[in-house]
């Protein structure tokens, strides 16, 4: 098995490994906020702020780029003059996020007297060239030459390769002449290989052959890699005679490649996110059977696995062919990518090669194979590997069984799942909470209530405590079967065992009851929740469900109950409910309530203030009555001040804490909902003459 990567490559490996980040256990730094105000008081303060946003540990966070763009936009709007170092910092950060045009725009704003940082210029040169922007790359190259900015192998190598693909050998030779005495940091043998590769990939194989001689005569020293690239191109074209001649020249004129030079070059390409360029030069090394370190291949496989799984597998096969194996971290990253891209067949083909070569030497290795095959839906293959594992006297652990069990249930293979359950006990492997949850969730989904009950009782007998997922699955199933008493019984057990878990289970319970249309039962359940179970979110959800289906009576009843029994939480619940109004259903049920109420409401049974508030708000919002007429009515002010205040708030909603920007974006029903809920905070009391007031002013 390969040794762990040396420290010199850790900076290329770890940023790409979610598994490595999880294993490390290091505390995560707080992510930058895209809404954080950028200080624009001084250029120095802004530079410090931008430096904190562009810190390396924040590079992969999704909010980093929006934060950078927002900060730059605010600085531009404020007319803040940026320091040259700030321009370079911004351009570097944008380049790191793949925003090449934006990075170039920031770079072009540098004054002619500003110092051009060599490292950034070479990175930008490579990025422009590899993205096909050869003309801007050429301008940058000329600027670097004119300002005596030092070139390196990555910048010039990627640039000259892409120039060769577009403009041919003559232009390449002019570029080589231009940097002949100025490229102290340029590895000439590597550049020769890049030129040969670029010309060969464009089918200009005669030019590639000629380039070897031209570069050799100019002191660029093509090595065996360059000759191998060109000979391989002639072989692919079926021109074996020329291939033989090139191979003879290789032995006579070529120089041996320096493994360390190519190692540093590939790592530098990966660091600059030139993944395609790193892949192509590594292909030349691998296909030519030249030496390459395992840590380089591991880093390359990891970088390729996200977008080019086929190439990643090719490099893995090369390693295996050399009796070497990819590292576990790289294998995990590759398999995650294959699962994400639904390439289960490719994964199985690759795993078969690993298994044939004896990769699995312990339980951990077998678990990795079984778990990823299960995740990819290759259930039969995963089961075969499990049997092979047992034949070799490696006992699967509970995690391995759970991976396969979950896959079987996901594929609706319940008979094999039951068989695997029996095998676990035969192998003296006791199920854990995850095992029970997998099976209970599946059987609850298909309403196999007897199976669910048996499993639930079995886990209690074995001393395995259910969690919120267990209770939620069982309660959902009972609600679907309209066995509400059993559901209440299960929830009561949950509340007694784990009040914290009961809070989330209560939400599931309320939603399940509302889905069945059993709102009365939902009101009964939530009103009996023990005081040690947090229920605020459940109250909000229930009120939202009642509002959406037009159950106005139930809504009012529950708001009154909350006010009486949870007075300390009343305002918080109302505020949370207001936040959910953007997803509210139509107000037609409330409107119908208003219309029917005006026709049949006798004076002896006057509606409460809350009902009047609902009707008033609906009437004003739908322009059935005029809020201005109500506002100017002296009788309303004198005799029913609370209703008058509601109308005032309706007209001047900013008094209720609603900012103008929010108000402008609200639909009428959202504003109605806001006012409706705000009126719930006012004193409830009798109200008997609102309808006569309406009739008077509607006329």
Supply the pLDDT for residue 64: 85
Q: Using pLDDT thresholds of 50, 70 and 90, give the confidence band for residue 551.
A: confident
C-beta neighbour count of 629 within 10 angstroms: 16
Of 100, 115, 130, which closes a domain? 115
Of 91, 115, 139, which closes a domain? 115
Asked if the structure places residue 93 within a domain, the reply is: yes
Quick one: tokens of 266? 């590939």
Q: Using pLDDT thresholds of 50, 70 and 90, give the confidence band for residue 686.
A: very low
Supply the pLDDT for residue 599: 43
Encode pLDDT of 249-280 as tens digits: 988 887 888 889 999 999 999 999 999 999 99
> Whose structure tokens read 């590899």?
130
> 460 vs 57, 244, 436, 597, CA distance in Å?
45, 76, 11, 54
Highest mean pLDDT among 167-176, 549-558, 665-674: 167-176
Q: Using pLDDT thresholds of 50, 70 and 90, give the confidence band for residue 219.
A: confident
> Whose structure tokens read 């996110």?
273
Supply the pLDDT for residue 36: 52
Q: Which of 68, 113, 66, 115 lies closest to 88, judged by CA?
A: 115
> Whose structure tokens read 């990823």?
372
Asked if the structure places residue 616 within a domain, the reply is: yes
Supply the pLDDT for residue 592: 46
223 has which bridge partners? 255
Contact 633, 643 (CB under 8 A): no
Contact 322, 259 (CB under 8 A): no
| Least confident among 56-60, 122-126, 275-279, 358-362 | 56-60
Asked if the structure places residue 288 within a domain, the reply is: no
> Whose structure tokens read 């059987």?
443
Q: Using pLDDT thresholds of 50, 70 and 90, give the confidence band for residue 34.
A: very low
Supply the pLDDT for residue 39: 62
Q: Which stretches of 181-223 are DSSP H helices? A: 188-201, 205-217
Does position 694 have pLDDT exceeding 70, yes or no? no
Asked if the structure places residue 65 within a domain, the reply is: yes
Supply the pLDDT for residue 698: 39
Collapsing DSSP to helix, strand or coil, 686 comes out as strand
Encode pLDDT of 404-422 as tens digits: 999 999 999 999 999 999 9
* pLDDT over 70, % of the chain: 77
Euclidean distance between CA atoms 577 and 572, whole angstroms? 9
Euclidean distance between CA atoms 605 and 686, whole angstroms? 10
Encode pLDDT of 314-335 as tens digits: 999 899 888 888 888 889 999 9
Does position 676 have pLDDT exceeding 60, yes or no? no
Quick one: tokens of 144? 């670097």
Q: Which stretches of 481-581 are DSSP H helices? A: 484-497, 499-515, 519-527, 536-548, 552-565, 570-579
Quick one: tokens of 38? 């950028």
* More confident call, 584 vs 689: 584
Quick one: tokens of 451? 């199976």
Q: Which residues contact 415 (CB under 8 A, 6 or more apart)?
A: none
C-beta neighbour count of 628 within 10 angstroms: 12
Supply the pLDDT for residue 521: 94
Euclidean distance between CA atoms 86 and 405, whole angstroms? 55
Contact 130, 98 (CB under 8 A): no
Q: Which helix (H) or strand (E) holds 677?
A: helix 668-679
Euclidean distance between CA atoms 120 and 84, whole angstroms? 13
Kindly report the backbone phi and psi dihedral angles of residue 185, in degrees, each rounded to the nearest multiple of 5, phi listed first: -95, 10
Rounded-to-5 percentages of helix, strand, coil across the chain: 70, 0, 25
Supply the pLDDT for residue 255: 81
Q: Around 385, how many Cα atoms within 13 Å sit in the side-chain half-sphere?
A: 33
Collapsing DSSP to helix, strand or coil, 425 comes out as helix
185 has which bridge partners? 152
Q: Which residues contact 474 (CB under 8 A, 6 or more apart)?
A: 440, 444, 452, 456, 487, 490
- Residue 675's domain comprises 588-698
| Least confident among 84-93, 223-232, 239-248, 553-562 | 553-562
Q: Using pLDDT thresholds of 50, 70 and 90, give the confidence band for residue 635.
A: low
Contact 198, 233 (CB under 8 A): no
Q: How many domains does the chain have?
A: 2
Contact 592, 558 (CB under 8 A): no
Encode pLDDT of 510-543 as tens digits: 999 999 999 999 999 999 999 899 999 999 899 8
Euclidean distance between CA atoms 328 and 640, whole angstroms? 75
Asked if the structure places residue 666 within a domain, the reply is: yes
What does the DSSP 8-state code read for residue 168? -
Q: What angle (nearest 5°) sits at the alpha carbon of residue 506, between those of residues 500 and 512?
A: 150
As a whole number of Å, the end-to-end CA separation of the chain is 90
C-beta neighbour count of 306 within 10 angstroms: 16
Asked if the structure places residue 151 within a domain, the reply is: no
Sign of CA dihedral 89, 95, 97, 100: positive
Euclidean distance between CA atoms 656 and 666, whole angstroms? 14
Q: Which of 625, 574, 3, 607 lies closest to 329, judged by CA?
A: 3
Asked if the structure places residue 324 within a domain, the reply is: no
Supply the pLDDT for residue 56: 76
Supply the pLDDT for residue 155: 95
Q: Which of 456, 402, 389, 450 lies closest to 430, judged by CA?
A: 402
Supply the pLDDT for residue 627: 52
Kindly report the backbone phi and psi dihedral angles of residue 608, in degrees, each rounded to the nearest multiple of 5, phi listed first: -70, 170
Euclidean distance between CA atoms 560 and 553, whole angstroms? 11
Euclidean distance between CA atoms 265 and 277, whole angstroms? 10
Tally of residues, the chain: 699
Supply the pLDDT for residue 58: 79
> 520 vs 169, 252, 553, CA distance in Å?
83, 92, 11
Sign of CA dihedral 116, 119, 124, 125: positive
Quick one: tokens of 39? 């200080």
Euclidean distance between CA atoms 57 and 38, whole angstroms? 19
> 427 vs 420, 423, 438, 443, CA distance in Å?
10, 6, 19, 24
Q: Using pLDDT thresholds of 50, 70 and 90, give the confidence band for residue 545.
A: confident
What does the DSSP 8-state code read for residue 608? B
> 69 vs 65, 93, 101, 104, 694, CA distance in Å?
6, 10, 13, 14, 54
Encode pLDDT of 596-630 as tens digits: 443 443 333 333 444 444 444 544 544 444 555 55
Collapsing DSSP to helix, strand or coil, 602 comes out as coil
Supply the pLDDT for residue 385: 96
Of 86, 115, 144, which closes a domain? 115
What does the DSSP 8-state code read for residue 327? -
Supply the pLDDT for residue 651: 53
Encode pLDDT of 137-179 as tens digits: 999 999 999 998 999 999 999 999 999 999 999 999 999 999 9
Q: Which of 146, 158, 147, 145 lies closest to 187, judged by CA?
A: 158
Q: What is the mean pLDDT of the chain?
A: 80
What does the DSSP 8-state code read for residue 255? B
* More confident call, 62 vs 212: 212
Supply the pLDDT for residue 60: 74
Contact 337, 302 (CB under 8 A): no
> 487 vs 125, 467, 545, 646, 672, CA distance in Å?
66, 15, 20, 42, 36
Sign of CA dihedral 536, 541, 547, 549: negative
Does position 16 have pLDDT exceeding 60, yes or no? no
Q: Please give the model's pTM, rounded to 2 decimal places.
A: 0.69
Euclidean distance between CA atoms 519 and 96, whole angstroms? 54
Does position 492 have pLDDT exceeding 90, yes or no? yes
How distant is the alpha carbon of residue 484 from its chain centre?
38
Q: Which residues contact 264 (CB under 8 A, 6 or more apart)?
A: none
Asked if the structure places residue 49 within a domain, the reply is: yes
Contact 513, 525 (CB under 8 A): yes
* pLDDT over 90, % of the chain: 53
Q: Using pLDDT thresholds of 50, 70 and 90, give the confidence band for residue 54.
A: confident
């Amino acid at each position: 098995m390969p040794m762990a990567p040396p420290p010199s490559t850790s900076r290329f490996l770890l940023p790409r490994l979610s598994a490595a980040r999880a294993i490390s256990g290091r505390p995560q730094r707080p992510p930058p906020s895209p809404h954080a105000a950028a200080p624009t008081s001084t250029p120095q303060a802004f530079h410090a702020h931008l430096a904190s946003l562009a810190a390396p540990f924040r590079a992969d966070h999704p909010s980093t780029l929006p934060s950078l763009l927002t900060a730059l936009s605010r600085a531009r709007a404020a007319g803040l003059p940026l320091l040259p170092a700030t321009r370079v910092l911004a351009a570097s950060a944008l380049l790191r996020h793949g925003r090449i045009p934006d990075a170039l725009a920031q770079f072009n704003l540098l004054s002619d007297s500003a110092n051009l940082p060599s490292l950034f210029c070479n990175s930008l040169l490579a990025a422009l060239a590899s993205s096909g922007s050869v003309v801007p790359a050429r301008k940058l190259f000329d600027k670097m030459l004119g300002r005596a900015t030092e070139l390196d192998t990555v910048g010039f190598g990627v640039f000259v390769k892409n120039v060769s693909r577009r403009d041919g050998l003559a232009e390449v030779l002019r570029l080589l002449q231009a940097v002949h005495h100025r490229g102290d940091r340029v590895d000439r043998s590597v550049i020769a290989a890049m030129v040969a590769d670029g010309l060969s990939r464009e089918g200009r194989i005669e030019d590639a052959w000629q380039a070897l001689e031209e570069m050799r005569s100019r002191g660029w020293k093509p090595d065996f890699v360059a000759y191998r690239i060109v000979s391989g191109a002639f072989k692919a074209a079926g021109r074996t005679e020329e291939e033989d001649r090139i191979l003879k020249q290789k032995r006579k004129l070529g120089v041996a490649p320096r493994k360390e030079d190519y190692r540093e070059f590939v790592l530098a390409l990966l660091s600059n996110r030139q993944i395609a360029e790193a892949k192509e030069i590594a292909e030349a090394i691998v296909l030519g059977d030249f030496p390459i370190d395992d840590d380089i291949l591991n880093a390359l496989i990891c970088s390729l696995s996200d977008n080019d799984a086929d190439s990643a597998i090719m490099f893995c096969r090369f390693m295996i062919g050399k009796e070497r194996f990819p590292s576990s971290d790289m294998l995990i990253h590759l398999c995650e990518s294959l699962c994400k891209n639904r390439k289960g067949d490719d994964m199985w083909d690759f795993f078969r090669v690993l298994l044939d070569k004896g990769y699995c030497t312990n339980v951990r290795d077998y678990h990795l194979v079984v778990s990823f095959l299960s995740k990819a839906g290759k259930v039969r293959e995963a089961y075969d590997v499990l049997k092979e594992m047992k034949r070799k006297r490696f006992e699967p652990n509970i995690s391995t069984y759970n991976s396969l069990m979950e896959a079987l249930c996901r594929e609706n293979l319940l008979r094999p799942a039951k068989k695997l359950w029996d095998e676990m006990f035969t192998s003296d492997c006791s199920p854990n909470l995850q095992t029970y949850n997998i099976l209970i969730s599946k059987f609850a989904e298909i309403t196999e209530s007897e199976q669910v009950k048996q499993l639930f009782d079995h886990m209690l007998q074995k001393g395995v405590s259910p969690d919120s997922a267990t209770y939620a699955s069982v309660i959902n199933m009972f609600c679907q079967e309209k066995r509400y008493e059993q559901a209440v019984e299960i929830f009561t057990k949950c509340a007694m065992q784990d009040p914290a878990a009961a809070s989330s289970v209560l939400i599931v319970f309320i939603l399940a009851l509302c889905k069945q249309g059993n709102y009365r039962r939902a009101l009964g359940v939530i009103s009996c929740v023990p005081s040690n179970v947090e229920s605020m979110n459940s109250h909000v959800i229930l009120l939202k469900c009642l509002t959406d289906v037009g159950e106005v009576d139930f809504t009012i009843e529950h708001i009154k109950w909350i006010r009486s029994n949870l007075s300390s939480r009343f305002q918080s619940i109302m505020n949370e409910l207001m936040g959910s109004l953007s997803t509210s259903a139509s107000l037609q049920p409330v409107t119908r309530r208003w219309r029917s109420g005006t026709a049949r409401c006798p004076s002896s049974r006057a509606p409460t203030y809350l009902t009047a508030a609902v009707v008033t708000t609906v009437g004003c919002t739908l322009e059935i009555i005029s809020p201005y007429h109500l506002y100017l009515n002296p009788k309303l002010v004198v005799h029913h001040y609370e209703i008058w205040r509601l109308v005032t708030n309706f007209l001047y909603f900013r008094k209720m804490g609603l900012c103008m920007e929010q108000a402008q974006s609200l639909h009428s029903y959202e504003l109605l909902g806001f006012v409706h809920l705000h009126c719930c905070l006012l004193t409830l009391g009798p109200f008997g003459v609102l309808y006569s007031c309406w009739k008077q002013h509607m006329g």
